[in-house]
Amino acid sequence: MNISFESKLPDDVTSIFAIMSKLASETNAINLGQGFPNFDCADELKDKIEHYLRAGKNQYCPMPGLLDLRKVLATKVNTAYGSSVNPESEITISAGATQAISNIITAFVKPNDEVIIVEPAYDSYKPGIELCGGLVVPYVLKAPEFLIDWDKFNELIGERTRMIIINTPHNPVGKTLKAKDMKALESLVQGKNIIVLSDEVYEHLIYDGQEHQSALRYPRLFEQCVAVYSFGKTFHSTGWKLGYSIAPEYITKEIRKIHQWNVFSVNSFLQYALADYMTDPKPYLGLGQFYQEKRDYFNAAMEGSKLRAIPCEGTYFQLFDYSEISDENDLDFAKRLTREYGVASIPVSPFYADRSDGKVLRFCFAKTKDVLSQSAENLSKI
């Protein structure tokens, strides 16, 4: 006999990433759907990991993370964004950026609190909010511009608004928030009892000479903000599940209350290796040019296809509009491309709560040139 209970996520469905990756595997298709590189991290970093593993750095780290690593990160954000951050009280190492996001939502969102998210949205935001009894309030971006009208955004803010989640560079659309956007947001939340969660995991993947407009650049905004980052995205190693959050001390205290009771601390030898490796900023400062070359190579190879590229300003995702090719919904079209043309992508509609279908697919270009070339060749046959 099964016991009776009420599901905390009654509408939860299978992740689109699981669906498309399974189909790619079954059809032996090239998988440009799930967002991870098909190349490895630097040999120097792997050597440092092996060194610290063999040196016995295999026991618990301090709950907030290795202090040496937090000091390196404090120097990094001070240099990059002009933000003076206290490594002891304002930086917390997490088991991936998604765990950091979960910590933050759990720490501040209570039943019936409202959280504004920008859709299409990374798929962990909504269930994380709902598990806390919060209410999701979407601001919906429209293809192909995907721009925020801050006057309309302001209309969503009410007495019950507890949190606003932004994502720049934005997954899945590849757009970035500009200085004017950050200043508008800073003005909107000023004097309001609202936490801003700034998801910045693709901070170094910015193209065409732009600068990443981190929330850390804006002192008044940072007073009520927490920013989230990912080592896995930066060092081509998503399987490490290692990230961190940065917030003022009074916010960090609440985040750590949650962090200590779910994972307490995260793996030690990676933290030692990264603290050592990141003393030289060149490997991550060159990421923008590295991935821009991949974006440009893929888009040039795709010029012979009927898919229309939507400009990508950041991340390692490229959107393509297929509205001139087919009237199929994006999930059906993505599945057909996988089966008939051997390339898997991700439809964008699952990133919207209402499954809004803009006839757009997302392709990951964090791949070697041979994979990108073969993918473009296949897709140009449509």
Q: Which amino acid is at 281?
A: P
Q: Are residues 184 and 276 in the same domain?
A: yes
Query: What per-residue confidence (pLDDT) applies to 367?
Result: 97
Q: Are residues 77 and 203 in the same domain?
A: yes
Q: What distance in Å separates the CA atoms of residue 123 and residue 372, rounded to the nearest whole number?
A: 26
Domain membership flag for residue 1: no
> Which residue among 230, 258, 280 closes a domain?
280
Q: Are residues 334 and 256 in the same domain?
A: no
Q: Are residues 319 and 369 in the same domain?
A: yes
The number of domains in the chain is: 2
For residue 347, the domain's CATH number is 3.90.1150.10
Q: What distance in Å separates the CA atoms of residue 264 and residue 266, rounded to the nearest whole number?
A: 7
HSE-up (13 A, CA, CB side) for residue 79: 11
Q: Are residues 267 and 128 in the same domain?
A: yes
Token pair 């603290």: residue: 275
> Which residue among 233, 259, 280 closes a domain?
280
Q: Are residues 297 and 274 in the same domain?
A: no
Tokens describing residue 295: 């974006």
Query: What per-residue confidence (pLDDT) applies to 8?
Result: 85
Domain membership flag for residue 120: yes
Domain membership flag for residue 113: yes
Query: What per-residue confidence (pLDDT) applies to 91?
Result: 98
Q: What is the pLDDT of residues 326-350, one digit of tens each?
A: 999 999 999 999 999 999 999 999 9
HSE-up (13 A, CA, CB side) for residue 321: 12
Query: What per-residue confidence (pLDDT) applies to 358?
Result: 85
Is the Cβ–Cβ distance between 98 and 167 less than 8 Å?
A: no
Q: Are residues 187 and 289 in the same domain?
A: no
Domain membership flag for residue 11: no
Q: What distance in Å separates the CA atoms of residue 230 and residue 45, rounded to the nearest whole number?
A: 16
Query: What per-residue confidence (pLDDT) applies to 255?
Result: 98
The strand pairing partners of 226, in sequence order, are 197
Is the Cβ–Cβ distance between 295 and 365 less than 8 Å?
A: yes
Residue 261 CB neighbours (<10 A): 10
Domain membership flag for residue 6: no
Q: Are residues 47 and 37 in the same domain?
A: no
Domain that residue 347 falls in: 16-41+285-379
Q: Are residues 344 and 358 in the same domain?
A: yes
Query: What per-residue confidence (pLDDT) applies to 204?
Result: 96
Domain membership flag for residue 4: no
Q: What distance in Å separates the CA atoms of residue 180 and residue 185, rounded to the nearest whole number?
A: 9
Domain membership flag for residue 143: yes
Low-confidence ranges of the chain (pLDDT < 70): 12
For residue 95, the domain's CATH number is 3.40.640.10
Q: Are residues 128 and 268 in the same domain?
A: yes
Residue 57 CB neighbours (<10 A): 18
Domain membership flag for residue 27: yes
Q: Are residues 295 and 266 in the same domain?
A: no
Q: Which amino acid is at 111?
A: P
> Which residue among 265, 280, 295 closes a domain?
280
Closest CA to 130 of 6, 258, 2: 6
Q: Between β-strands 161-167 and 195-199, what pairing exists: parallel, antiparallel or unpaired?
A: parallel
Q: What is the pLDDT of residues 232-284, one digit of tens each?
A: 999 999 999 999 999 999 999 999 999 999 999 999 999 999 999 999 999 89
Q: Are residues 72 and 130 in the same domain?
A: yes
pTM score of the predicted model: 0.95
